[in-house]
């Protein structure tokens, strides 16, 4: 069970970074966002991935329909894996803090032992 969770966390994290890279360089199979049948290029949406992919395209592309909106496939995958990436990064920071505290404790104990050896 734990191995499956760890695998999914690592795979989701890597998939997010792959999708962020792909979205930056290409529109992928779906290149527009449609809300109520009108093409929308939101400034906030484009700034998230530095998205040249949402610029107007001459070809008409299909879209993944989610409720009233249509979202490009690669963006949808990136948004779906974003929470996994955030959780993984937070866990990495927690691990970094714990490891640095353990190293500091080991350092202190070594300095104390070296100081006591010098006195004798």
At residue 51, the pLDDT reads 41
Residues 22 and 74: beta-carbon distance below 8 Å: yes
How many folded domains does the chain comprise? 1
pLDDT at 4: 94
**Rounded CA gap, 96 and 99, in Å?**
5
pTM higher than 0.95 for the full model? no
Nearest 5°: the CA angle 78, 87, 5 is 90
pLDDT per residue as tens digits for the range 55-98: 434 344 445 666 556 677 788 889 999 999 999 999 999 999 99
Q: What is the pLDDT of residue 117?
A: 83
> Could you give the dihedral angle defined by the CA atoms of residues 87, 9, 16 and 29, in that order, rounded to the nearest 10 degrees?
-140
Q: In which domain, by residue range, is 37 found?
A: 2-119
* pLDDT tens by residue, 3-31: 999 899 999 999 999 999 988 887 666 44
In angstroms, what CA-CA distances link 68 with 34, 35, 63?
Answer: 8, 6, 12
């Amino acid at each position: 069970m734990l191995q499956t969770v760890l695998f999914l966390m690592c795979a989701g994290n890597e998939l997010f970074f792959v999708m962020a890279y792909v979205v930056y360089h290409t529109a992928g199979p779906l290149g527009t966002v449609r809300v109520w049948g009108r093409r929308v290029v939101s400034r906030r949406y484009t700034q998230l991935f530095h998205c040249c992919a949402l610029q107007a395209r001459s070809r008409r592309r299909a879209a993944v329909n989610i409720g009233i909106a249509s979202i490009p496939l690669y963006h949808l995958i990136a948004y779906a894996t974003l929470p996994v990436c955030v959780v993984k990064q937070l866990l990495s920071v927690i691990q970094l803090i714990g490891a640095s505290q353990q190293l500091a404790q080991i350092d202190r104990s070594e300095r104390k032992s070296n100081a006591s050896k010098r006195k004798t």
